[in-house]
Structure 1
Amino acid sequence: MGTYKYLLIYIALFEIIYSIVDMIISPILFSHDSIYMVIVNVKTNMLSGEVLLILDAVYCGCYGSFMGLFALNFIYRYFVASGSKYLATFNNSKFFLWLSIPLIYGIIWGMICYFLISPTSQIDNVMRNEVMLNFGWEMEDITYIGPYCYQKQQNETYIIDLNSIIALILMSTIIISSISALIFFGVRCYLKINQLFKGVILMHTPCSCIFIFTLLDLDLGTLSGISTLTVALFPALDPLPTMFLIENYRNVIINCFSEPVKKLRTSSELKMIAT
């Protein structure tokens, strides 16, 4: 396992943080025209709206961190599989530089969300009826993060919101860099290609599609909620290949289940002998 065990622990910590934040804020993803929102209900939560907005940004930042974690995971696997001289950088002080990649991705993503696409009066006005129709909530009951790319005016003209466009471009750049690393290094580690596709399907594809639909001013409505499900599934499914493909982990899991069965069987046999 070598340094890889520390990398797995690092990934697990991010997934735990993500899951805890997800549990606290219970976000809902919703799309309408060129608006894409990560909604948090303030009324049903004990925390204040400002704190929930920060946690919403942290939640989104965790998604950005996953982009870096995917890339880092497959870079390491490629170095191991190819016997690259750069593998040594994971065994010295440079290892912390590698670990900083997902952290930087997450910080950038979270700051983009908090400073560029936090709640605005324009989105409140446009989404008031949609939020009430789909969820039965007033805009004052929620906080959210999301871009509003093309702001429709009363005279049927549009104003392009530069903050939203810049945010989507920066986020798309992060996603593209992650996918590029996955393809470049993942194909070279073709024995792990199944996990590569799992990561792309669960994490990259839904968000990328929503970004595209948002930029094209196409309404996904409640269908955008599918990305909530796929992203939430990832922390649960991600450890499974490691747990069952690596012999040491697999043996521990088998023993955890086999030992109670053996004890139960032994206990039953003793009872039968006694009777």
Structure 2
Amino acid sequence: MSIDTWLPTLNKTRNVLTYFGISVNAILVPVIFLKSPKDLGLYKYMMIYISTFEIFFGCVELLTIPDFFTKDSAFFVMVDPAKTILPQFLIQTADLLFCGSFAVSLGIFGFQFAYRYQVLNGNSSWTSSRPLNFLFWLGSPLIFATIWSAAIAVFMPLNNFAKIVLIRESVFPSDVELDNIGFCGALFYPKSEDGTEVINWDSMRGVAVTTTILISSEITMFFFALKCFLATKSLMNQSGHSKNFRHLQWQLFYALALQTLIPITLIQGPFSTIYMTTLLLDCSTPLFGNFLAFSITLYLAIDALPTIFIIKHYRQAIFGYFKQFKIVRVQPKPYQVSTANIHRSSVY
């Protein structure tokens, strides 16, 4: 069975998962705001920031309906004008916005772990609810996204080499003007007019920037995750902390750890595989691109679930709310015979 056979079903599934993820995060945001323990401080707003970002990312995906194409040394992310409701002048910007959101999802959890570590160390100068702290912790992932998107816009735009691949592989119907699509992508080893394979140094420069961001986010994530684990474990051995406080700290750690493991598995893993098969091996296939498209959607659908199921305050609030709408079975009343009917029947 070819990819084209099951691709429509896959796209419908992606839409369902995206709507599900947006709905879950839309429920979680007010719960975090209203039901968080008082001593969470700025961390409460960082969790709201993640959920709000994932709602935004899901909306961008629904608006752009991006197509992923991978083959040999090509890796493209495109927006078909026939599939989106966006006006023509916004399509390219929306494609870059989608790619920038992708970058935020890579870097945001490293900053979360870094913040948690400062909290556990009692470093109030970095964790107090001051405007500068808000700006740093919430704005830093956006700087990563801006650099990522700028590198893609400069080094990975639509060019003649990419057009040749799109036409040769019939990625779009023949009546689609390629200059009207939203496009960003790398083509590492295009072929010249005489069929000679050359190196596309623009794509190499662009991927150097994105790879630096990818690796730095992974190093930050794993470094501070380990530091958080050790700090949390040390905190549990100290006296003077209540049982509820200790349970909350472990809940926050495990929720963040699982919430981080999801994008590592569903985004960084497939993304790294595509880089390896396109840049190093020059033998990628369309399967990898379609899998990455689905895994990004799956990440948006399930990433909020660890926060809901692990942190007791949010779990009780959400499930307690839905329990109010349980259907109560109404017991039928026993049949009562009218005494008047009894008397009437006795007369006759």
Corresponding residue for residue 270 of structure 2: 206
User: How much has 1:52 moved relative to structure 2?
Assistant: 0.7
Find the aligned partners of 1:41 and 1:230 in 2 and give their Cα distance: 20
Superposed counterparts of 1:26-105, under 5 Å: 26-80=65-119, 83-91=120-128, 92-95=130-133, 96-105=135-144
Structure 1 counterpart SS, 2:170: helix
Q: Which runs of 5+ in 1 are unaligned?
A: none
Q: What does residue 6 of structure 1 align with?
A: 45
CA RMSD of aligned residues (A): 2.2
CA distance in 2, matches of 1:255, 1:27: 38
Give runs of aligned pairs for residues 177-216 of structure 1, distance below 5 A. Answer: 177-190=216-229, 192=254, 193-216=257-280
User: How far apart, CA to CA, are the structure 2 residues paired with 1:186 and 1:136?
Assistant: 47
Aligned to 2:188: 149
1:138 and 1:32 mapped to 2: Cα distance?
Answer: 22
Name the CA distance, whole Å, in 2 between partners of 1:75 and 1:49. Answer: 40
Figure out how many residues of one structure are paired with residues of the other and give that number.
Answer: 267
What residue in structure 2 maps to residue 233 of structure 1? 298
Deviation at residue 272 of structure 1 after TM alignment: 4.2
2:169 is paired with a residue of what secondary structure?
A: helix
Between the aligned partners of 2:318 and 2:262, the Cα distance in structure 1 is 22
Name the structure 1 match of 2:311. Answer: 246
1:124: how far off?
A: 0.3
Q: Which amino acid letter does the alignment assign opposite residue 320 of structure 2?
A: N
Paired residue for 2:153, among 114, 117, 120? 114
How far apart are the structure 2 equivalents of 1:40 and 1:113? 15
Q: Does 1:259 align with 2:324?
A: yes
Work out the CA distance in 2 between the residues paired with 1:210 and 1:138. Answer: 29
Q: 1:258 to 1:116 in 2, by over 3 A?
A: same
| Secondary structure at 1:268 match in 2 | coil
Tell me if the contact between 1:28 and 1:40 (Cα under 8 Å) persists in the aligned partners. yes
Cα separation, 2, equivalents of 1:235 and 1:112: 24
Task: Assess if the C-alpha contact under 8 Å between 2:110 and 2:221 holds in 1.
Answer: yes
Q: Which residue of 1 aligns with 2:288?
A: 223
Structure 2 CA distance for aligned equivalents of residues 112 and 124 of structure 1: 20
Instruction: State how far apart, in whole Å, the 1-side matches of 2:45 and 2:87 are.
Output: 36
- Alpha-carbon offset, residue 140 of structure 1: 1.8
**How far, CA to CA, are the matches of 2:174 and 2:320 in structure 1?**
50
How far has the Cα of 1:226 moved from its partner?
A: 0.5
Unaligned 5+ segments in structure 2 are: 1-39, 230-252, 337-348
| Alpha-carbon distance between aligned partners in 2 of 1:86 and 1:26, rounded to the nearest angstrom | 43
Q: Deviations over 1:62-97 (max 9, x none)?
A: 0111122111111122333xx214354121233111
- DSSP 3-state at the match of 2:53: helix
User: Structure 2-normalised TM-score?
Assistant: 0.71
Which deviates the most, 22-31 or 219-228?
A: 219-228
1:160 counterpart residue number: 199
Change (3 A) 1:138 1:125: farther
